Amino acid sequence: MLVTFPHMGSAYVTLKALLEDLGVDVLVPPPCTKRTLELGTKYAPELACLPLKINIGNYIESLEKGADTIVMAGGCGPCRFGYYAEVQREILKDLGYRFEMVVLERPQGNVRDFIDRISLLTGGKSIFRVISAIKRATGVSIEMDNLERLGWEVRPREIKKGSASSLMKSFHSEVHGVKGTREINSLIRDYRRRMEQVETADEDILKIGIVGEIYTVIEPFVSIGIAEKLGDLGVEVDKSITLSYWIVNHLIKEALHMHDKREIEEAAKPYLKNFVGGHGQESIANTVIYKKKCYDGVIQLLPFTCMPEIVAQSILPRVSHDHDIPAMTLVLDEMTGEAGYLTRLEAFVDLIKRKKEMARDHEKKLLSRG
């Protein structure tokens, strides 16, 4: 059995660690490229959302390399993600591929079933081993997110341009050579130290929060590397949705009925009173929260036709206006071209820069008059 899974940013690091700890042979899907997207676009329904298409491309590329088992997460609505696996299985089967698809989900919220499926994948490892591996892998996801976050802080401030990006690049090539949570964690920590040593200038810097649909927020291929692009434009970014956030809140806490959504619900309430699937409610709430944390702007990312985020997109202008925080929505699809996209990013950064300067001048005037 050779197990593969969809590619989503650095998520593979955590999944690889988990499966390796459980003694499963893993084939990490090749990074998303134009070919991945083309395969997906060719075989997936035309109006399916972008992540579904890219998943299909990932699967085909992994199956070509010899994988025979696909692990995928599931769900039970209301957005499309819960039915991805069903549609994807049909598409691949009709194309003639032979494979097993293991869908990790909690039908009727049953945690036991979820763990049983993982245990099945591992040839019947005990539930305790599975649980402890999940715990360690969760740790990896947190470490990994922290490393990336550090990169977003360093990039706009680094004195030698390109340092953060090249560190991350070399991390991703080295991680293939190590196995399991322990080794991977120590590699991440090693890179963390190196990232901390990158020389930076202490500048007053613009900050942008990224909200939106989880796949487009996490996978740099579809957002054309938004975090790096903004970093190079001198902006520090933060992503409101990360893999560890998803694992901790949706997988673990929700299963244990400990998921506390109060902060999100309260912040979104004046605008969006209900959960709308995906992270639509989070997009609204986090815009409000970013303003409170003194961010200078918010960018919402969503794949074309994404249902929860279209609800959020409809509401975002009002939130942006009421809270006086510039917000821009970028809809991503297979036609998104790099040139137009960069122009829009630059224009947005210009806008928030000018807004900040104006506010500062205004403040100075008030003070000098004082």
Partner in contact with 318, chosen from another protein, ligand SF4, none, beta carbon below 5 to 8 Å by kind: another protein
Of 6 and 209, nearer to ligand SF4 (C-beta) is 6
Q: Are 74 and 118 in contact (CB under 8 A)?
A: no
Smaller CB distance to ligand SF4: residue 8 or 121?
8
Residue 189 in 3-state DSSP?
helix
Whether the bond between 78 and the residue before it is cis, its omega within 30 degrees of 0, is yes
Tokens 């709430």 appear where? 285
213 counts as binding ligand SF4 under rule CB under 6 A:
yes
Q: Name which of 216 and 320 has its Cβ closer to ligand SF4.
A: 216
Selected binder of ligand SF4 within 28, 79, 85, 328 (CB under 6 A): 79
Residue (77 or 177) nearer to another protein, CB: 77
Helix (H) or strand (E) holding 113: helix 111-121
Smallest distance, ligand SF4 to C-beta of residue 305, A: 7
Q: Whose Cβ is closer to ligand SF4: residue 79's or residue 134's?
A: 79
Nearest to 254 by CA among 71, 114, 72: 114
Q: Give which of another protein, ligand SF4, none residue 213 binds (C-beta under 5 to 8 Å, depending on kind).
A: ligand SF4
Tell me the DSSP string of 58-103: HHHHHHHTT--EEEEE---SSSTHHHHHHHHHHHHHHTT---EEEE
Give the residue, chosen from 29, 40, 51, 209, that forms a contact with ligand SF4 under the rule CB under 6 A: 51
Q: Is 329 helix (H, G, I), strand (E, B) or coil?
A: strand
Q: Which of 13, 17, 27, 49 binds ligand SF4 (CB under 6 A)?
A: 49
| 53 CB-near residues (< 8 Å, 6+ apart) | 37, 40, 41, 44, 334
Residues that bind another protein (CB under 8 A): 45-49, 52, 74, 76-80, 82-83, 85-87, 90-91, 94, 107-108, 271-278, 280, 304-308, 310-311, 313-315, 317-318, 331
Site stretch for ligand SF4 (CB under 6 A), options 8-16, 138-146, 194-202, 304-312: 304-312
Using rule CB under 6 A, residue 278 touches ligand SF4: yes
Q: Confirm or reject binding of residue 180 to ligand SF4 (CB under 6 A).
A: no
Q: How many residues bind ligand SF4 (CB under 6 A)?
A: 13
Query: What three-state secondary structure class fits 51?
Result: helix
311 touches ligand SF4 by CB under 6 A: no
Q: Please, what sign has the CA dihedral across residues 342, 345, 347, 353?
A: negative
Q: Does 73 bind ligand SF4 (CB under 6 A)?
A: no
Q: How far is CA 184 from CA 13, 28, 71, 73, 198, in A?
A: 8, 14, 21, 23, 21
Member of 16, 80, 89, 106 binding ligand SF4 (CB under 6 A): 80
Binding status of residue 328 toward ligand SF4 by CB under 6 A: no
Interacting partner of 273 out of another protein, ligand SF4, none (Cβ under 5 to 8 A depending on kind): another protein
Sole binder of ligand SF4 in the list 131, 224, 307, 351 (CB under 6 A): 307
Measuring CA to CA, how many Å separate 142 from each of 29, 145, 211? Answer: 21, 5, 19
Residue 40 sits in the site that holds ligand SF4 (CB under 6 A) = no
Q: Please state, in angstroms and rounded to a whole number, the distance separating the CA atoms of residues 158 and 156.
A: 6
Which partner in ligand SF4, another protein, none is near 221 (CB below 5 to 8 A by kind)? none
Q: Does residue 219 bind ligand SF4 (CB under 6 A)?
A: no
C-beta closer to another protein: residue 231 or 308: 308
Other CB atoms within 10 A of residue 123 CB: 10
Gyration radius (Cα) of the chain, Å:
21
Write the Ramachandran bin of 109: left for phi over 0, alpha for psi from -120 to 50, otherwise beta: left
Binding site residues, ligand SF4, CB under 6 A: 49, 51, 79-81, 213, 215, 278, 303, 306-309
